[in-house]
Amino acid sequence: MDLLAVTAFGTVYAIATLVLLALGLAVIFGMMGVINLAQAELLMLGAYTVLLATSHGASVWAGIALAPLVVGLIGVVIERTIIQFLYGRMLDTMLATWGLSLALVGTVTLVFGPTTEGIATPLGYQTIGRYSIAHYNVFVVAVALGALGLTYGLFNYTGWGLVARATMQNATMVAGLGVNPARVYMATFAYGSALAGLGGAIMAPLTGVVPTLGLAFIAKIFITVIVGGPVILLGTTTSGAVLGLVESIVSYASTPMYGQVAMLAFAIVLLRLLPQGISGFWRRGV
């Protein structure tokens, strides 16, 4: 019974981290159609924000609150200097952001060194029988739910969300109605970056902070968003649930390495069966 509860929570936690990390990409790729290969580096920069904040005496919580702002600003810079010239040229965007990703990893390595820096995990433990659950993991699940709810509400129930969705569908029409699409793109990209910064910051105490931090996640989050399909938030959540479940089950049965392989193989087979992604046949929406 205890084991069941802990395993169930472990699975929920695995799904929540996947969704939290993939959410920023779901906005940038799912909504804007920009394949941002530097997404993993935005996670990494979020984690480094927490590291810098704690090393300057601030608390982990302050660092986590700061990270979305810092990375959101970096997102604005990236959009203005690189992405804005490449809208509509998807493969070129992909190549340019890939270059950016290499440059960011290299630069951070030069500045902070290639070593893994630890951040003490805050909060305590809850024991269930012979097992225990870290409170911080519960916090991660809560933040994932919160970020998901915030993004859903933002795009579906605010005026800005409406304008953003309209811009993604038909930028010329929106421009004709007096809205500058360039600014909407910039804001959406910044929001997606901020989500990535939040995800990276939340994961920092769990994984440690290292310049190649994003590498461990990039494959997973891209697969999650692609399998999710066109209904970005619900699709990403569903695919996160399915893929997270596959990964957890195989990881428990063998090793995390086979968990990853199983997840990828499952995703590729799934795409053969549902080329549009899980949400391909759903009613359109965000």
Partner 1 sequence: MALAALPFLLSLFQVVQLTVFMIFCLLALSLDLIWGFGGILSFGQAAFFGVGGYAYGVIGINSGRTALAVVAAVVAAALLAALLGYFTFYGRVGAMYFAVITLTVTLILHQVMGSTADPRYAVGAARLGGYNGMTNIPSLALELPGRPSIVLEPVPLFYAVGATLLLIVALCRALVRSSFGRVLRAIREDERRTELLGYDIRWRKLLTFVISGGIAGLAGGLFAGWGNFVNPQVFSLSQSALVVIWVMVGGRGTLYGAVAGTLVVQFLTNYLGAASVTYTTVLLGVALVLIVLLFPRGLVPSLGLAARRLALGLAQAPPAEDSGPA
- Which residues contribute to the site for partner 1 (CB under 8 A)? 35, 37, 82, 85-86, 89-92, 94-96, 98-107, 109-110, 114, 215-216, 218-219, 222-223, 226, 255, 257, 260-261, 264, 268-269, 271-273, 275
What span, in angstroms and rounded, lies between the C-alpha atoms of 69 and 75? 10
- What are residue 28's phi and psi, to 5 degrees? -70, -45
How far apart are CB 65 and partner 1 at their closest, in Å? 30
φ and ψ of 83, to 5 deg: -65, -40
Cβ at position 2, least distance to partner 1 in Å: 30
CA distance readout (Å), 150 to 6, 145, 157, 158: 28, 9, 10, 11
| Nearer Cβ to partner 1 (234/264) | 264
- Give Cα 243 distance to the centre of its chain: 15
Q: Least Å distance between CB 96 and partner 1?
A: 4
Q: How many whole angstroms separate alpha carbon 112 and alpha carbon 100? A: 18
Contacts of 218 (CB under 8 A, 6+ apart): 37, 39, 40
- Which CB atom, from 12 or from 74, has the smaller least distance to partner 1? 74
Closer to partner 1 by CB, 42 or 64: give it: 42
Residue 223 CB, nearest approach to partner 1 (Å):
6
* H-helix segments, the chain: 2-25, 39-55, 60-81, 90-112, 135-157, 159-169, 171-176, 181-207, 215-228, 232-253, 256-273
Smaller CB distance to partner 1: residue 272 or 283? 272
Cα–Cα distance measured from residue 83 to residue 75, given in angstroms and rounded to the nearest whole number? 10
Least distance from partner 1 to the Cβ atom of residue 158, Å = 29
SS3 call for 126: strand
CB of 83 to partner 1, least distance (A): 10
Q: Measured from the CB atom, is 57 or 275 closer to partner 1?
A: 275
Which CB sits closer to partner 1, 142 or 269?
269
Which of 5, 257 has the CB closer to partner 1? Answer: 257
CB of 184 to partner 1, least distance (A): 22
In the block, residue with structure tokens 């530097």: 38
Using DSSP's 3-state secondary structure scheme, residue 280 falls into helix
